[in-house]
């Protein structure tokens, strides 16, 4: 039986893919509960297993280890009490808004009249009144995502799971839709008992959630939990809001391990491929220079603001600087290392040397250099690298990985990129 209104409980949940040497631990030993009435955010960097956990919780994929309890009972097969809203909702282009919402109800055998009534009510609820007979192509991205929400709500899930539902929208639509969801949730206009929001956006989590479960990757795991006690509606400029963002920053960034070694393997090796943080060299250099001016230990949150960087750009930049040994991170503060100070204060040529020396050990960079050394005329098509990267990352991510690698490699002059022929080559 459910105790203290516990809706969902994860006990030692793990998920791995592959076996033996090739085994990848997507998530390991995850424990948490979600209670009735809670809005919980699962926050962590890309690849830490957030979507994997949602698939396990909704029963779309089995866990490899541990147990998922729903209202005290072990979950077997698809969870009938939970639904997911994805980043981009797959609407049927040949169906109207109303028919798209009705689809889920039809699948559950709800009779036509009841279907129609419930669909119309939800369309109204999400603010799409008047668009019942429109087709998806006639709608903006924000409106399409509202249809996705209406469809997910149509089956009246007890647990609504949201997998980065705002990240594909433009800034304004995303903010509007967040506000509308909070309005629905806090006014109890929807029968949903709990919401689990997956996000990699700290402010979004602080804006919406009662509790933030912080994850990290390699392997995907829970590293922290933060209660957000601010009343709704929350205001982003509010001092308490900012202080909370700061606290979550500290929880996310954790602490630099004593020996910053480069973890993970190259894309052509077995095991978990190390991911390059999405940080171009000018951002890394900008951060290091800024810290050199500020001196000593600085509040991470303030640095991001000073540099005018979005969190999604700032965090990877800090991660990159950390990976390179230029900074350390502790309790939400960031400190320049002696190497970082040297980097900031030296000539362009010396900077390139320091940078080259650091990145040569990074598995992806090392792999590119080795492939080029072995290749005829030390040249290889960009395609060659993309194909291998696509075995580990989505096509988009594979391209970003190569873009970052080329950005770093070019700056450090460890390899070059020929824009005309789309080839990488070793400088002579
Ligand atoms: P997130 O949603 O946090 O970005 P995911 O849950 O999508 O993370 O992925 C977690 C990890 O599991 C990643 O390293 C990913 O590469 C790996 N992974 C996910 N699905 C598969 C799969 N089908 N086969 C192998 N690895 C996978
Ligand atoms: Mg995901």
Residue-wise DSSP of 212-242: EEEEETTTBEEEEEEE--PPSSP-TTSHHHH
| 166 φ/ψ angles, rounded to the nearest 5 degrees | -105, -5
Ligand 1 centre to CA of 265 (Å) is 16
**41, 15 contact by CB (below 8 A):** no
pLDDT tens digits, one per residue of 175-188? 888 998 999 899 98
Ligand 1 centre to CA of 54 (Å) is 12
Ligand 1 centre to CA of 24 (Å) is 9
In angstroms, rounded to a whole number, what is the distance separating the alpha carbons of residues 114 and 387?
50
Indicate if ligand 1 lies below 6 Å from the C-beta of 136: no
H-helix segments, 126-263:
141-154, 171-186, 202-208, 239-253
Which residue(s) pair with 225 in the sheet? Answer: 213
Ligand 2 centre to CA of 49 (Å) is 7
| 95, 111, 155, 278, 290 from 312: Cα distances, Å | 35, 45, 33, 9, 18
pLDDT of residue 2: 44
Residue 1 has pLDDT above 60, yes or no: no
Q: Whose CA is nearest to atom 18 of ligand 1?
A: 26
**90, 155 contact by CB (below 8 A):** no
pLDDT of residue 101: 94
- Counting ligand 1 atoms within 8 A of each CB, the residue from 24, 61, 63 with the most, and so the one to mutate, is 24
pLDDT tens digits, one per residue of 400-415? 999 999 999 999 999 9
Q: Whose CA is nearest to atom 15 of ligand 1?
A: 47
pLDDT of residue 90: 78
pLDDT band per the 50, 70, 90 thresholds, residue 15: very high
Which residue(s) pair with 12 in the sheet? Answer: none
Please state, for a pLDDT cut of 70, what percent of the chain lies above it. 96
- For 191, the 3-state DSSP assignment is coil
Query: Which conformational region is residue 5 in: left (phi greater than 0), alpha (psi within -120 to 50 degrees), or beta?
Result: left
Instruction: Give me the mean pLDDT over the 153-160 stretch.
Output: 91
Instruction: Give me the mean pLDDT over the 214-224 stretch.
Output: 88
CA 242 to the chain's CA centroid? 21
Indicate if ligand 1 lies below 6 Å from the C-beta of 24: yes
Q: Whose CA is nearest to atom 14 of ligand 1?
A: 47
pLDDT of residue 257: 53
Indicate if ligand 1 lies below 6 Å from the C-beta of 17: yes
Indicate if ligand 1 lies below 6 Å from the C-beta of 407: no
Residue 54 has pLDDT above 50, yes or no: yes
pLDDT tens digits, one per residue of 254-284? 655 544 444 567 788 777 778 899 999 999 9
pLDDT tens digits, one per residue of 305-337? 888 888 788 889 999 999 888 998 887 889 998
Instruction: Give me the mean pLDDT over the 200-221 stretch.
Output: 91
- Nearest atom in ligand 1 to the alpha carbon of residue 24 is 26
Domains of the chain, start order: 3-251 (3.40.50.300), 281-425 (1.10.10)
Tokens 């491929």 belong to residue: 273
Instruction: Give me the mean pLDDT over the 340-366 stretch.
Output: 86
Indicate if ligand 1 lies below 6 Å from the C-beta of 220: yes
SS (H, E, C) 337-375: CHHHHHHHHCCHHHHHHHHHHHHCCCHHHHHHHHHHHHC
**93, 99 contact by CB (below 8 A):** no
In angstroms, rounded to a whole number, what is the distance separating the alpha carbons of residues 383 and 367?
15
Indicate if ligand 1 lies below 6 Å from the C-beta of 92: no
- For 84, the 3-state DSSP assignment is strand
pLDDT of residue 256: 55
CA 333 to the chain's CA centroid? 22
Indicate if ligand 1 lies below 6 Å from the C-beta of 49: yes
Q: What share of the chain is helix, strand, coil (3-state, %, to 5)?
A: 45, 20, 35
Note if the bond before 233 is cis, omega within 30 degrees: yes
pLDDT of residue 266: 79
Q: Whose CA is nearest to atom 25 of ligand 1?
A: 17
Indicate if ligand 1 lies below 6 Å from the C-beta of 65: no
Indicate if ligand 1 lies below 6 Å from the C-beta of 46: yes
pLDDT of residue 263: 55
């Amino acid at each position: 039986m459910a105790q203290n209104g516990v809706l969902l409980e994860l006990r030692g949940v793990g998920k791995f893919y592959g076996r033996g040497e090739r085994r990848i631990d997507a998530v390991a030993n995850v424990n948490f509960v979600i209670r009735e009435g809670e809005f919980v955010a699962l926050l962590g960097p890309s690849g830490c297993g957030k979507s994997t956990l949602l698939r396990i919780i909704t029963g779309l994929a089995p866990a490899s280890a541990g147990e998922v309890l729903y209202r005290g009972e072990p979950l077997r097969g698809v969870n009938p009490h939970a639904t997911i809203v994805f980043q981009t909702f797959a609407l049927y282009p040949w169906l109207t808004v109303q028919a798209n919402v009705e689809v889920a109800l039809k699948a559950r055998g709800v009779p036509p009249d009841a279907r129609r009534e419930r669909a119309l009510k939800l369309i109204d609820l999400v603010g799409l009144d008047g668009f019942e007979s429109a087709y998806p192509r006639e709608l903006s991205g924000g409106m399409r995502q509202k249809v996705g929400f209406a469809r997910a709500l149509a089956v009246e899930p007890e647990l609504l799971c949201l997998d980065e539902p705002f990240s594909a929208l433009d800034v304004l639509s995303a903010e509007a839709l967040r506000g509308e969801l909070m309005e629905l949730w806090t006014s109890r206009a929807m029968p949903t008992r709990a919401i689990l929001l997956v996000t990699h956006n700290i402010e979004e989590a602080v804006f919406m959630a009662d509790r933030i479960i912080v994850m990290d990757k390699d392997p995907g795991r829970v590293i922290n939990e933060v209660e957000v006690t601010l009343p709704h509606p929350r205001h982003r400029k509010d001092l308490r809001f900012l202080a909370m963002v700061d606290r979550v920053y500290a929880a996310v960034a954790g602490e630099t391990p004593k020996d910053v070694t480069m973890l993970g393997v190259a894309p052509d090796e077995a095991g978990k491929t190390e991911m390059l943080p999405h940080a171009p060299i000018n951002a890394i250099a900008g951060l290091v220079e800024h810290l050199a001016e500020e001196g000593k230990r600085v509040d991470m949150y303030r640095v991001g603001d000073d540099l005018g960087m979005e969190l999604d750009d700032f965090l990877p930049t800090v991660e990159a600087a950390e990976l390179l040994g230029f900074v350390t991170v502790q309790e939400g503060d960031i400190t320049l290392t002696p190497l970082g100070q040297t980097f900031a204060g030296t000539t362009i040529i010396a900077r390139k040397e320091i940078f080259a020396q650091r990145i040569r050990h990074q598995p992806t960079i090392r792999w590119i250099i080795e492939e080029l050394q072995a290749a005829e005329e030390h040249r290889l098509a960009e395609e060659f690298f993309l194909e291998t990267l696509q075995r580990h990352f989505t096509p988009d991510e594979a391209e970003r990985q190569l873009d970052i690698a080329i950005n770093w490699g070019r700056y450090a002059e460890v390899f070059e990129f020929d824009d005309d022929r789309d080839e990488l080559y070793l400088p002579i």
